[in-house]
Amino acid sequence: MSDATLIKPQGDHRNLICYRKAELIYDITYNFAYSAFEHGDRTIDQMVQAARSGKQNIIEGNADMDTSIEMGIKLINVAKASLKELLADYEDYLRVNGYEQWHEESDKYIAMRKLGVDGSNKYILDIASSRPLDTVANMAIILLKQEDYLLHKLLTSLSEQFLDEGGFKEKMHRMRVERRGK
């Protein structure tokens, strides 16, 4: 089985649903953190950085997959871990401020989950900008859970691809052997 090229053409990260959702989470988090916390509170930087890390590691992981599925998997997992940290920050915000976290069976949770699947980023951002902070935190929690699912599926797919194709060094070796055989 011959690979046509050693370096695969780079896909555009903006075409990934998980990237677009991470971008939405970043935008919501940026606005939320600067509204929910006092200027100078380290939580602002921590939440914004976790959201940014999630988004940026998807970009970097996607770019690194041109040559290394292994590195892509590692970076996508870093994105997943950063967003898990952010999820805990939103849950902490609700808990320490005495707000309710929506239950999965509640009408609000179900409606937001559907909006997270069907709604455009702009539409969701417009809604978030007009809601109380506890509602925005709950919205973000649901989006983060959806993102975690998407990243898990991406990691599973990449793991299967790695098992089927091997890593970059293996591909280089196969191509070198094939070239020498010609």
Span 73-95, pLDDT tens digits:
999 999 999 999 999 999 999 99
Q: Which pLDDT score, from 0 to 100, does residue 9 have?
A: 62
CA–CA separation, 176 and 121 (whole Å): 46
How high is the pLDDT of residue 165? 75
List, for residues 134-159, the tens digit of each pLDDT value: 999 999 999 999 999 999 999 999 99
CB 50 within 8 A of CB 89: yes
Does an H or E element contain 29, and which? helix 17-36
pLDDT at 168: 67
Q: What is the mean pLDDT of each run of 10 residues along the chain (182 residues)?
A: 57 82 98 97 98 97 83 95 98 98 97 95 96 98 98 94 74 75 79
Q: Is 5 helix (H, G, I), strand (E, B) or coil?
A: coil
Cα gap 119→136, rounded to integer Å? 15
- How does 103-138 read in b/e, with b if 16+ C-beta sit within 10 Å? eeeeeebeebbebbeeeeeeebeebbeeeebbbbbb
DSSP codes joined into one string, 79-96: HHHHHHHHHHHHHHHHHH
Burial of 2 (C-beta count, 10 Å sphere; 0-12/13-18/19+):
exposed
16 three-state secondary structure: coil
pLDDT value of residue 177: 79
